[in-house]
Amino acid sequence: MKPLVRLSAVSLVVASLGACSSGSDTPQTVVLPNDAPGTQNPVINMPGAVPPGTQTPVVNVPETDTPTTEVPVTEPAVTPTPDPVEGEEEVVVTTPDYGDLPDPVIPAVDLLAAPVPGPSASDPFGSLLEVEADEAVAGGPPTQPKNLRIDLVSNDWAEFSWAASKDDGEVVAYRISRSDGHVYVVGRDQTDPSSSTQAEINKFWNTTSFIDCNYTRFFDKVHDCGVNGPKAGDIFSYEVAAVDNEGKVSAPSNSITINYHALKGAAVPLYEDFYLDESRFAQNHDLTNTAYFMDKFEVVFEDDFNGDSIDNRRWNTSLLWGDATIINAEQQYFVNTQKDPAVDYNPFKIANSILTIEAIPTPADMQSQLPEVCAQPNALGKDQCAFLSGALSSHDKFNMTYGYVEGRMKTSNTAGALSSFYLYHRYPGEGVNLHGPEIDIVEYLGENPFGDEDAFQTYHFTDVNTGELRSAPTMNFENPEGELYSDKFHTYGVLWEPQLVIWYIDGVEVKRLSGPQVARQGMNIVTYLVTGSGWAPTPDIEGGVFPIQYEIDYIRAYQRSAYNGNGIYP
């Protein structure tokens, strides 16, 4: 784990603006061409409709024959194979070919994580907090924090939340007590000079949630994650108590126990979940390498970029909110070639089965072709259309809930370039279904700000109780081969199952998280090349080398038959 405190992102969160701008969108019936891939079940649900698959809750009782690593392997007795009897068919037993990989290992079930309270048709994320019924006592301590519950768990961080306390005066802090004796304080008036750290402090307070530990924001400050943060395999119990303005402390909340994942191949929790199919795929497969499970999946979306232009059946050349909105203090205009085919610059170059998204400084004679927004500086006072680049989004053309999505791409190594490939919600949801999820499959900063070989993965969701965007710590994965990821093509993938997300690079697991806050609603595929943002510096316009190039060989989505068309808002 390396410190990420040097991140000075205003926000790397696409979801923040997208959730707002798409919040009032009305779903439209999408007419898809017959031969469009992935459209076998074009069921477009209206927001607020009962999610499909909720009629029959599946209660997941561990089967007694679930294989575990504990099962001793007995040498099979050698029995002579009888010659096939004439007239009978010979039975040929084939063993799956895993290439050079060892045979798969099925992890033991994580019984500590079962059951997680909540997920049901009326509360799909198990996330509605109990309304505080207790009244604050005059002159007394705050009421007991209620509903302490796990939201997400990974190997070195976990996110949890609780229902706020009441007090006759004011609640000014929550004390989070961990079973090893460490106590964190979430204070109403805590401050930090970093705006992104301050935003996270405020979020903890406003949503009564906490991440033990957010290495991205608090590596060596406030919560001092570098010293205090959990490590893979730790098991800790937690309680939360509220403190009032007189220093009086409430009764502790209920206790929860968190089993931090192993670094790789962690036991998959047997959560209760009405979307969990009876095969319990995630519990019964080794998920550390895609080779162990891809035979269970079928391609439902594919673009190999074999043509000579963007396939309009598969992609939009603008994001969900259109080309006139530029998010995250970015500095490129995504040229919308579908809306304006005669535009003077086409950022999409396709040759030899490779799509190259090319970004250039905006030519002076193209200013008149840019939307009005380009005349305004961004939140950082910078030109938000200093560059022309390209974005692809599959919204309203391909959306999915659960599955495996993979791209093979060569990210840009230009300082200021951000090569991005992620899943994004079509509808943020409303009422109990508000969730607005985003899974960043890979984000790659060309300037390699940490002096090593990192690719980033993050999960974002909206807190149903407050509407605030909450995010996992940005997880960085360092290339074990010691090369820059931008040196060559790699595959970047994500497996998305009920209450489980696993990220892969070149088919090998690099990160996983689990928990009831994993998305249940349809998402679409997005990829683009950012040039300059709140996170990435402005590329060198004078001395830089242009075009900046982000190359994509293919993007594919796969699903198991159990989930084809499932979920909220397919």
**Binding residues for Ca ion (CB under 5 A):** 167-169, 244, 304-305, 353, 553-554
Nearer to Ca ion, 305 or 461 (CB): 305
The span from the CA of 40 to the CA of 106, in Å, is: 32
Nearer to Ca ion, 210 or 305 (CB): 305
Nearer to Ca ion, 205 or 456 (CB): 205
Nearest in space to 124 (alpha carbons), one of 433, 427, 429: 433
Q: How far is the CB of 164 from Ca ion (least distance, A)?
A: 14
Nearest in space to 515 (alpha carbons), one of 230, 163, 149: 149
Nearer to Ca ion, 243 or 505 (CB): 243
Taking only Cα atoms into account, the Rg of the chain, rounded to an integer number of angstroms, comes to 25
Q: How far is the CB of 153 from Ca ion (least distance, A)?
A: 33
The span from the CA of 425 to the CA of 520, in Å, is: 10
Nearer to Ca ion, 305 or 402 (CB): 305
Nearer to Ca ion, 410 or 512 (CB): 410
Residue for token pair 């809750």 = 57
Q: How far is the CB of 351 from Ca ion (least distance, A)?
A: 10
Secondary structure string (H, E, C) spanning 201-253: HHHHHHHCEEEECCHHHHCCCCCCHHHHCCCCCCEEEEEEEEEECCCCECCCC
Q: How far is the CB of 394 from Ca ion (least distance, A)?
A: 17
Q: Which residue has the closest beta carbon to Ca ion?
A: 353
Q: How far is the CB of 48 from Ca ion (least distance, A)?
A: 40
Q: How far is the CB of 359 from Ca ion (least distance, A)?
A: 20
- What b/e string do you get for 419-431 counting C-beta neighbours within 10 Å, with b at 16 or more? bbbbbbbbbbbee
Nearer to Ca ion, 212 or 244 (CB): 244
CA distances from residue 55 to 58, 121, 122, 433 in whole angstroms, order as listed: 9, 8, 11, 16
The span from the CA of 257 to the CA of 15, in Å, is: 30
Q: How far is the CB of 87 from Ca ion (least distance, A)?
A: 49
Dihedral, CA atoms, 366, 367, 370, 374, nearest 10 degrees?
Answer: 150
Q: How far is the CB of 314 from Ca ion (least distance, A)?
A: 13
Nearer to Ca ion, 306 or 376 (CB): 306
Nearer to Ca ion, 77 or 133 (CB): 133
Nearer to Ca ion, 255 or 353 (CB): 353
Q: How far is the CB of 93 from Ca ion (least distance, A)?
A: 36
SS3 state of residue 362: coil
Nearer to Ca ion, 244 or 453 (CB): 244
Q: How far is the CB of 201 from Ca ion (least distance, A)?
A: 23
Q: How far is the CB of 481 from Ca ion (least distance, A)?
A: 23
Q: Two tokens at 518? A: 């994993």
Give pairs for 23-26: CB < 8 Å, separation 24+: 23/428, 25/320, 25/427
Count CB-CB contacts under 10 A for residue 277.
19
The span from the CA of 531 to the CA of 529, in Å, is: 7
Secondary structure (DSSP) of 262-274: PSSSPPPB----T
β pairing state of 354-361 and 500-505: unpaired
- Residues contacting residue 60 through CB under 8 Å, at least 6 positions apart: 114, 270, 271, 272, 273, 276, 280
Nearest in space to 118 (alpha carbons), one of 522, 566, 521, 517: 517
Nearer to Ca ion, 261 or 314 (CB): 314
**Cβ proximity of 294 and 138 under 8 Å:** no
**Cβ proximity of 557 and 400 under 8 Å:** yes
Q: How far is the CB of 534 from Ca ion (least distance, A)?
A: 32
